[in-house]
Amino acid sequence: MIRRALISVYDKDGITDFAKELTESGWEIISTGGTYGILRDNKIPVKSVDEITGFPEILNGRVKTLHPAVFAGILADRDNPGHLSDLEKHRISPIDLVVVNLYPFEETVSLPGVTLAEAIEQIDIGGVSLIRAAAKNFRHTCVLVNKNQYEGYLRELRSGGEKIPEDYSASLAEYAFSITSEYDGKIRNYLSGINNHDKSNFADFSFSDKNERAVLRYGENPHQKAYLVKENFDEIFEVLHGKELSYNNLLDIDSAYSLINEFEGANPACAIIKHGNPCGVAVSEDPGSAYLKAFSTDTVSPFGGIIVFNKKLDFKTSVVIDKLFSEIILAPDFENDALLLLKKKKNRRLVKFGFSMEKTEYRKIAGGVLIQEKNNFIAAEKDLKTVTQRSPSGSEIEDLLFAFIVAKHTKSNSVVFAKDCRTLAIGGGQPSRIDSTKIAVMKAKNFGHDLKGSVAASDAFFPFPDGLIELADAGASAVIQPGGSVKDDEVIKAADERNVAMVFTGIRHFKH
């Protein structure tokens, strides 16, 4: 039996190769307008929609596929004898595949000076209707709305023969409906804007037909399904070696990447991440010494963690880090010899990245989606307000700013001890800041670090003096914190009594 595909795409990238493989497998192609012209010019056998409908395109292309001969072919339930009878009676052939991507409405309205008339002409009608029809009838008709889906569909054809698995077709339908829903949302937002209705001033929680969905092996736990919706992921990250990245790998990579982004222009820096939290961070004269200093913070937790650098990874450093079992190593680049060495462990992932500043964060909660601007604030010396009798020294200021960055990337409540731009102890994720401090102090003792003369950072203010006293008793000579507590005066007094220099930033770094 001949299988048929209706192809009508605005973005024609990759469509000729895709259509060619279909025709070589015996498929019949039906197409419209510019798509038809490109396929014909590339010597691919193709029928125009006019031949199927017996009716020409009209209204400057606004109406071309909206015809029973097309939609009955897409929507026919082939398990329903009545539907099959109707097809035969009206000489309509079933359509097995619909390949459509939509007019670039969002791109058009983002152009400076675009008129309402120009925007309206980019509201796709036929394309959305074709997608919805095929998605509705996914048991018999597949729908592709993204060029990144072409190869996956061809793989299914090559392996599955005549019948596409229904669970695969259903997943295509789910994605297709998400695309049409988002497309309508973009149009709604545009019309809301020209009607002076309120609009969010940062990104909606939606994804366009440019976004590839990568299916992951499983989610946070093996019984959970998961996938990655890519925005510019492939522009930032390149996996050079190792197994497929898992859901938890991606979360840890995001934590590592967000932290190392703070050190883009700094001296060589290294961070070691475990379960989303830093367990050691350092800045030094070269990547190798930065790693050793970061590792020395906690020599137990890094096992099975993630190591990230802000500079090209050299061979000498790779020899050192190769001794530790790590899930992932990230760097802006790798020396060839370093790659050859690190690739010897087949399950270790090696990831190359480019620095990029994300602006928006999304988090799904029960009943909705939280959207916020990403916390991109990096404190500088000019942002510090000394509130104690003693001012911090130049070296203490450098360490305070470093520690405050690490505290920002540690789960609240977070406390970080540092000296010479290296972490000595990190405590976080506790309901009480006192508990986080006690954990940090305990770890420092376990790994032989003397906290006397160190600095300490707190991600949020101290509601009472006891938190500051705990840091001072542990050995901190200077403290950085946001300030803003009703008990600030009492906290400052406690610092003065212990000759601790303290600075306020006015910025809180909660990380929940």
Q: Which residues are catalytic?
A: 136, 275
In angstroms, the CA 147 to CA 102 distance is: 12
Number of C-beta neighbours around residue 86 at 10 A: 14
Question: 392 and 476 in contact (C-beta within 8 Å)?
Answer: no
Which DSSP state fits 262?
G
Q: Which amino acid is at 420?
A: D
What does each C-alpha distance from 431 to 155, 412, 426, 437 come to in angstroms? 50, 8, 15, 11
Number of C-beta neighbours around residue 87 at 10 A: 16
Q: Checking DSSP bridges between strand 368-373 and strand 305-309, what pairing results, if any?
A: unpaired
Look up residue 401 and give its two tokens.
């700013």
Question: 284 and 297 in contact (C-beta within 8 Å)?
Answer: no
Which helix (H) or strand (E) segment holds residue 195: the answer is none
Of residues 323, 366, 367, 365, the one with CA closest to residue 341: 323
Q: If 0-12 CB within 10 Å is exposed, 13-18 middle and 19+ buried, where does residue 201 land?
A: exposed
In angstroms, the CA 460 to CA 437 distance is: 13
In angstroms, the CA 304 to CA 306 distance is: 7
Which helix (H) or strand (E) segment holds residue 298: the answer is none
